[in-house]
Amino acid sequence: MEATDATGPMRKTGAMRKMRAVHSSHSSHSSHNSHSSHNSHSSEPSKSPELQPSQPIPHSTFHIPHYLCITGPTACGKTRRAVALARHLDAEIISADSRQVYRNMDIGTGKDLDEYGDTPYHLIDIADAGEKYNLYRYLQDYDAAYADIRRRGRNAILCGGTGMYLEAVLSGLRLPEVPVNAALRDSLSGCTLPQLTERLASMKTMHNTTDVDTVARAIRAIEIETYYLEHPEAAQTARVDASRRPEALIILMDIDRESRRRRISERLRTRLDDGMVEEVRALLDRGVDPETLLAYGLEYRYVTLYITGQMKYAEMVQSLETAIHQFAKRQMTWFRGMERRGFTLHPIPWDIPDEDFIARVEALLQEFPQPQSPQSP
């Protein structure tokens, strides 16, 4: 699959509109008024500190490291900051979000395409909803997008909150393509998730539970580890050598717990008002397998459970809100893990003005040495 090459704002009609109350990196832009049972959330949410969009700034002449990354937990305003910095540095944005790759999944993933304006972005809307997209494909698409941006003489900013994708890119990880092992899948088809988890844990050190969120993911993870055992040369290419990491400046949008929780809750109410239930129902009507939507997690999981009659509306809202808060905590755990694994993350407050944010990034960029000019003979 080729990476997208957006050369301007890709506006969504109907699904993407101006945000009303909360200006965050994962808000949505469409309207919805169909759920009278949601009246308990109809009051206007309290406003966050107003952050004005930055205006284009003359390009900087600082040396840009190989990787310039903006990350942070959900609802911290990553996209908006990346756009402000991209305008300043003549850069394009490469998304690191495992769900924004899917078309027609706009509200639940918080694509916020209106925020990009005329700033080109990549790796958003590149796969059909229901399609299988994984880290292997992401790394291929990232390489294609990055090479295209650099070939045109522009800088690249990696922006997103999917820790596994971010760390794979920043580590210089390269994964071999692992074929389907039908015989192995058949032998595992009757196993429970705990049984699969135990088997996978016997094959590798498990740093997180991403591989065992579902039976399908656990079987695929076992399939990959089995392939590596049978093909040691492939396993070697998948190992990361920290000493060979390209230079990287990683900005962590630093948001306090209470602000993060408030913004998550406000944003969820906005998404529900803006048509998130209708978005998921439309996916089901197009034939997307409910099990696939459940595997996408969070908004798509809980709204699917509601639509298919497995949850009441109020229960869905409460459970989803709790799940998003838990997800944000897991993101912060991942970022702390990255620091333990040798990455340096530079925290910058989430709510400072754009000009102050850019000034802080420039101060960090000054620490990177300028490339040496070739010596004359």
> 3-state class of 155 per DSSP?
strand
Q: What is the pLDDT of residue 371?
A: 60
Residue 241 CA to residue 352 CA, distance in Å, equals: 36
Q: What is the pLDDT of residue 305?
A: 98
CA 231-233-239 angle, to 5 degrees, is 110
Residue 116 CA to residue 196 CA, distance in Å, equals: 42
pLDDT tens string 150-169: 999 999 999 999 999 999 99
Radius of gyration for the chain, computed over Cα atoms and rounded to the nearest angstrom: 21
Q: What is the pLDDT of residue 234?
A: 80
Residue 324 CA to residue 303 CA, distance in Å, equals: 13
The pLDDT of residue 317 is above 60: yes
Q: 43-47, 198-202, 250-254: which has the highest mean pLDDT?
A: 250-254
> 3-state class of 47 per DSSP?
coil
The pLDDT of residue 35 is above 50: no
Residue 64 CA to residue 156 CA, distance in Å, equals: 9
pLDDT tens string 115-138: 999 999 999 999 999 998 999 999
Q: 30-39, 58-67, 178-187: which has the highest mean pLDDT?
A: 178-187
Topology at the third CATH level for domain 50-173+242-256+330-365:
Rossmann fold (3.40.50)
CB 107 within 8 A of CB 275: yes
Residue 258 CA to residue 351 CA, distance in Å, equals: 13
Residue 361 CA to residue 252 CA, distance in Å, equals: 11
Q: Which two tokens stand for residue 348?
A: 């910058």
The pLDDT of residue 253 is above 80: yes
Residue 163 CA to residue 173 CA, distance in Å, equals: 13
Residue 191 CA to residue 185 CA, distance in Å, equals: 10
Q: What is the pLDDT of residue 173?
A: 86
Q: What is the pLDDT of residue 370?
A: 67
- Count of helix runs (H) and strand runs (E) in the chain: 13, 6
Strand partners, 69: 158, 250
Domain borders along the chain are 50-173+242-256+330-365, 182-237
Confidence tier at 372 by pLDDT (50, 70, 90): low
Strand partners, 156: 92
In terms of Cβ atoms closer than 10 Å to its own Cβ (0-12, 13-18, 19+), residue 372 is exposed
What is residue 102's DSSP assignment?
B
Higher pLDDT residue, 233 or 121? 121
**Which residues lie closer than 8 Å to 31 by C-beta, 6 or more apart?**
17, 273, 274, 275
Confidence tier at 33 by pLDDT (50, 70, 90): very low
Residue 97 CA to residue 138 CA, distance in Å, equals: 10
Point out the least confidently predicted range of 21-35, 52-66, 283-297, 358-372. 21-35
Confidence tier at 217 by pLDDT (50, 70, 90): confident
CB 133 within 8 A of CB 102: yes
CB 316 within 8 A of CB 305: yes
CB 112 within 8 A of CB 121: no
pTM, rounded to two decimals: 0.76
Q: What is the pLDDT of residue 244?
A: 58
Residue 274 CA to residue 12 CA, distance in Å, equals: 13
Q: At what angle do helices 354-365 and 78-89 cross, to 10 degrees?
A: 60
> 3-state class of 93 per DSSP?
strand
Average pLDDT in the chain: 83
The pLDDT of residue 18 is above 50: no
Q: What is the Cβ-side half-sphere exposure of residue 227, based on CA atoms within 13 angstroms? A: 20
Q: Which two tokens stand for residue 355?
A: 């000009």
Confidence tier at 22 by pLDDT (50, 70, 90): very low
In three-state form (DSSP H/G/I as H, E/B as E, the rest C), the secondary structure along 206-265 is CCCCHHHCCHHHHHHHHHHHHHHHHCHHHHHHCCCCHHHCCCEEEEEEECCHHHHHHHHH
